[in-house]
Structure 1
Amino acid sequence: MFVESIKSPGLAQLSYLIGDGGEAAVIDPRRDCEIYAEKAREKGCRITHIFETHRNEDLISGAPILAQLTGAAVHHGPNPAGDVTYADTVREGDDFTFGSMRLKVLETPGHTDDSLSFAIYDQDFGDQAIGVFTGDALFVGDVGRTDFYPDRKEEVAGLLYDSLQKILSLGNQAILYPAHGAGSVCGDNMADRDFSTLGYERKYNPMLQIGDRKKFIEKKVAEHHEQPPYFRNMEQLNLDGSAPAARVVTPPVLDADDFYRLIEKAEVIDVRGVTAYLGAHIPGSLAIPCDMIPAFAGWFLDPEDEIVLVADSSSQAQAAARHLARIGFDRVPGFLNTALPGWAAAARPFSSTAVVDADTVKARVQGEDRDWQLLDVRGKKEVEQGTVPGATTIYLGHLPEQLQRLPKGGHYTVMCASGARATIGASILQRSGFENVDVFLGSMGAWKASGNSVIE
């Protein structure tokens, strides 16, 4: 008997290959799904079943693709909004056997109406569950978000509370296998580890310390989560299974002529590190460092966009293309790998973005320059914990639609927690025609480390 987790960096998504006796199942496969078939072959197993804990919002499911690859049946929970077209509907109490492993279906709605959990048992040793795959209902250190049904806030929060009691009733001994780890947009307070037990979570998970159902509902209703526009596209693709297989290869290298030809109709995304972008970049390019693509590309790109990458290496370009493919952005015709000094030496255009430190920002805060604004692009929860005096707050994902609030002739210093999101924000401003823009490198971390006060 085995349980093997497969983690998708960036998305912090966890999927699983489980099995025994020559048969295997996959839980919540990602779109680039060949890895499951490869690992099953290594273990001498055949994938016979695919289970989904819910219809994902933050990534494309690989279930219909893996089903075509292996011939396995896909199983999904009941959904009042419409059944997933590529899956069979399973319900509470349905069970499946793989050798000595038994998998039992639990209906655990709340995060979504179709949410399922899967308890597993070792039929040769005892009658208690040895583990449970909880999807987005229960995480290590947190529980699932319940904001996808705004007209049913109290109802779905209550459903999650009830579902958590059902999961916990499996016993303290059961190992917790969630669908996401720390860094996922599906939770704010996950612990930075991918393993736990129900007993440990019962004792230490803050949300499980709320024993009163009404108070739990009040807590969940008061939460604030952002929903990137691409979530709607993910939901539709994961309903009809129409996304093709993603066999991610390194995008071709572009020479200068090819690059100039493509950028007339393509979005130029610079996936290099923050300091590389700040030092020199292609005019009009959008900075999204490679490891930040899963969190932010879906805010600024359309699935129909052609995307030209600026990358340090072919491996970085491939990683960026993989991140993009997992959230539905497939049109990447190539990447520019020309070192920027060489680019500039050939008299090709480039831009840079100035950076400032905490002392400079403090002097500006205390000054009287009416044309200067400190623009804080952190999230609502971060802002509630304190801001620099006088800062204008606009969440990074909403910045493009809020640009009309900002006079183009002004001087802007963009900040976040460290400077990474601020660099993305500065690139949005610059490509929209704002000329006097700089980045507070170190941002809130540097402000506090310098002993400066914040407004709460």
Structure 2
Amino acid sequence: MFIEKVKSEGLAHLSYVVGGGVKAAVIDPRRDCEDYIRIARDNGATITHIIETHRNEDYVSGAPVLAGMTGARVLHGPHADADIPYAETAPEGTEVDLGGGLRLRVLETPGHTHDSLSIAVYDDQFGQEAVGVFTGDALFIGDVGRTDFYPDEKEAVAGQLFDSLRKILDLGDQAILYPAHGAGSVCGSGMADREFSTLGYERLNNPMLKITDRDGFIRAKVNEHHDYPPYFRHMEHLNSVGLDRRTPVGAPRVLTADAMGEAGKSAILLDVRPAAAWLGAHVPGSLAVAVGMVPAFAGWLLAPEDDIVLIAEDAAMAEAATLHLARIGYDRVAGFFPAGMTRYAATARPFEAAPVVDVAEVEALVADPPADWTLLDVRSDDEAASAGLVPGATQIYVGELPARLDELPRDRRYTVMCGSGARATVAASVLARAGYADVGVFLGSMQAWLKRGDETV
């Protein structure tokens, strides 16, 4: 028997390959599927089943792709919001025998979505109790799934999740927990920064499981706030119809400065270099989303129909960005420009830089704020509530900024801040692309503000 985890960085998505004898199942595959086939092969197994624990919102399911590559059966829960043409319905009690005593059993655990499943794992050669459970987005390590996808049914679905969690806990404290996401996922806000736990440990330590009163749990869930990136709707659609195109492989084609300039007339220029590189010198109109931030922020800033031209340091960076984009359904990458900005500037094309300020300068501005100056904090509402705001700051979450530009007068100058400066750079690029003429970044941001005057730093 083996269980191997496959982690998608940036999305904090966790998928699994589980096998007994010569057969294996994949739980919640991502779109680039080669790792699953390799893991099964290395363990002497063939993938015969693919199980989706729920309709995913934050990444493209790889189930249709993997089924096409392997011929495996795809199982999906009942009560889906739309027909799932590539999958069979697996109601409560459905079992999958993978040989060697390994047996999977389906539990219906709605709440996060109507079609949510959990998959109990049994080793019949050694006992009758579950040795583990794949919980999808119902139960995480340190948190539970969000229940805000059905605003007209918010109390009902929160109550469903409460009941589902009790069903999962009934498997016993010995069961190992295998969730579909780890810390950093948009599917939960309080996850522990580790990827191992048991139901017993969670029963004792998970704050949401400590709420044993059903009505109290419902109130807590209804009062939660979660970000809802615009691309979620696109993911819901793709994962209902099934996207069977394989993930683009390798770096996109290299573009000359001339070709990039021509493509940039209609395409989005996405600069995936580190934030400091964009601040120092960048192509006018480019959006700054460092490669590691693409999974978290591209879905806020790009539309599914956008053509994209990458600005990257090299082919490896462009390839990584292309893969991140493909995992959330953005395939229209026309090419990349390998940007050394000195090389770009040597073509006599214009470039821009963004001014940066330190904590001492921000302190002085806050103490005596100019009439035309705004300190813009682009942290989330939860972060702002937890750590507080710098006096006089205006707070708009970076992801919501494109839709809320009308709240920011264009005749003002802006200093943008976040937790450290990385998201502030993303926000500064959004403002600059929208035509705001005087935008700078507070490097260090809230971390620096909280440590100002601390001589031990």
CA-to-aligned-CA distance 1:44-98 (integer Å, 9 cap, x gap): 1111110000010000000011111111110000125233111000111111111
CA distance in 2, matches of 1:368, 1:108: 53
- Cα-to-partner distance string for 1:13-33 (whole Å, 9 max, x where unaligned): 000001111001100000111
Show the counterpart of 1:173: 174
The one-letter amino acid of 2:88's match is: D
Task: Report the TM-score when normalising by structure 2.
Answer: 0.97
Aligned mate of 1:409, from 411, 414, 417? 411
User: Conserved in 2, the CA contact under 8 Å of 1:83 and 1:89?
Assistant: no
Structure-2 residue corresponding to 1:67: 67
Runs of 4+ in structure 1 off by over 6 angstroms are none
Q: Could you tell me which amino acid in structure 2 is paired with residue 39 of structure 1?
A: I
Structure 1 residue 247: Cα displacement: 3.5
Retained in 2: the 8 A contact 1:267–1:305? Answer: yes
Secondary structure in 1 matching 2:48: strand
SS at match of 2:353: coil
Cα RMSD (Å): 1.1
Aligned residue in 1 for 2:147: 146
Pairs within 5 Å for 1:193-232: 193-232=194-233
State the AA in 2 paired with 1:187. G
Asked if structure 1 preserves the Cα contact closer than 8 Å seen for 2:248 and 2:326, the reply is no
Q: 1:318-373: CA deviations, max 9, x gaps?
A: 00000000001001111111311222233221110011111111111111411000
| Letter paired with 2:18 | I
* Map of 1:3 onto structure 2: 3
Q: What is the rounded CA distance, in whole Å, between the counterparts of 2:233 and 2:409 in structure 1?
A: 32
Map of 1:390 onto structure 2? 392
Q: Which residue of 2 aligns with 1:58?
A: 58
The match for 2:192 is 191
Does residue 257 (structure 1) correspond to residue 258 (structure 2)? The answer is yes
Q: Distance in 2 between matches of 1:343 and 1:300?
A: 25
Conserved in 2, the CA contact under 8 Å of 1:60 and 1:243?
A: no
The answer (yes or no) to whether the contact 1:373–1:411 under 8 Å persists in 2 is yes
Query: Which residue of structure 1 lines up, in the alignment, with residue 426 of structure 2?
Result: 424
1:248 shift after superposition: 2.3
2:21 equivalent in structure 1: 21
- What is the distance in 2 between the residues matched to 1:248 and 1:235? 24
Contact 2:248 2:322 (C-alpha < 8 Å) held by counterparts: no
Specify the alignment match of 1:297 in structure 2: 298
The 3 A distance-change label for structure 1 pair 176 and 266 is same
Tell me which amino acid in the other structure corresponds to 2:335. G
- Cα deviation, residue 411, structure 1: 0.8
Secondary structure class of the residue paired with 1:208: coil
Contact 1:132-1:176 within 8 A present in 2 as well: yes
Letter in 1 for 2:19: G
**What's the counterpart of residue 438 of structure 2?**
436
Distance 2:122 2:328 in 1: 33
Partners of 2:21 and 2:68 in 1: how far apart? 23
Q: Partners in 2 of 1:256 and 1:233 — Cα distance? A: 32
CA displacement at 1:192 relative to structure 2: 1.0
Partner of 1:116: 117
Q: Is 1:159 aligned to residue 154 of structure 2?
A: no
Give the secondary structure class of the aligned counterpart of 2:209: helix
CA contact (8 A) 2:65 2:243 kept: no
Aligned length: 452
In the other structure, the counterpart of 2:361 is 360
Tell me whether 1:233 sits opposite 2:214 in the alignment: no
The one-letter code sitting in structure 2 at the alignment partner of 1:432 is: A
Once residues 327 and 90 of structure 1 are traced to their aligned partners in structure 2, the CA distance between those partners, rounded to angstroms, is: 26
- AA at the equivalent of 2:9: P
| More displaced 10-residue stretch of structure 1: 369-378 or 333-342 | 333-342
| Per-residue Cα deviation, 1:197-217 (whole angstroms, up to 9, x for no partner) | 111111111111111111111
> TM-score scaled by structure 1?
0.97
Q: Does the 8 A contact of 1:86 with 1:241 survive in 2?
A: yes
Which stretch of the first structure deviates more once superposed, 335-344 or 321-330?
335-344
Quick check: 2:314–2:339 contact (8 Å CA) kept in 1?
no
1:119-130 matches, cutoff 5 A: 119-130=120-131
Distance 1:451 1:110, change over 3 A: farther
The whole-number CA distance in structure 2 between the counterparts of 1:447 and 1:72 is: 54
The alpha carbon displacement at 1:39 in A equals 1.7
Residue of structure 1 equivalent to 2:381:
380
Contact 1:237 1:243 in 2 (8 A): no
Following superposition, the deviation at residue 243 of structure 1 comes to 4.7
392-401 vs 321-330, which moves further: 392-401
Say which SS state the counterpart of residue 333 (structure 1) adopts: strand
Which SS does the other structure have where 1:53 is aligned? coil
For residue 208 of structure 2, give the secondary structure of its aligned residue in structure 1: helix
Partner of 2:44: 44
Query: Unaligned regions of 5+ residues in structure 1, if any?
Result: none
Aligned letter for 1:339? G
| Alpha-carbon offset, residue 150 of structure 1 | 0.5
Question: Quick one: which amino acid aligns to residue 11 of structure 2?
Answer: L
**C-alpha distance in structure 1 between counterparts of 2:284 and 2:228, whole Å:** 29
Q: Is the 8 A contact 2:93 2:105 kept in 1?
A: yes
SS of corresponding position for 2:29: coil
Distance of 1:281 and 1:368 partners within structure 2:
29
Is the partner of 2:154 in helix, strand or coil? helix
The Cα shift of 1:259 comes to: 1.0
Sequence identity, in percent?
A: 60
Counterpart position of 2:81: 81
Q: Secondary structure at the match of 1:258?
A: helix
Secondary structure of residue in 1 paired with 2:55:
coil
SS at match of 2:333: coil
Partner of 1:269: 270
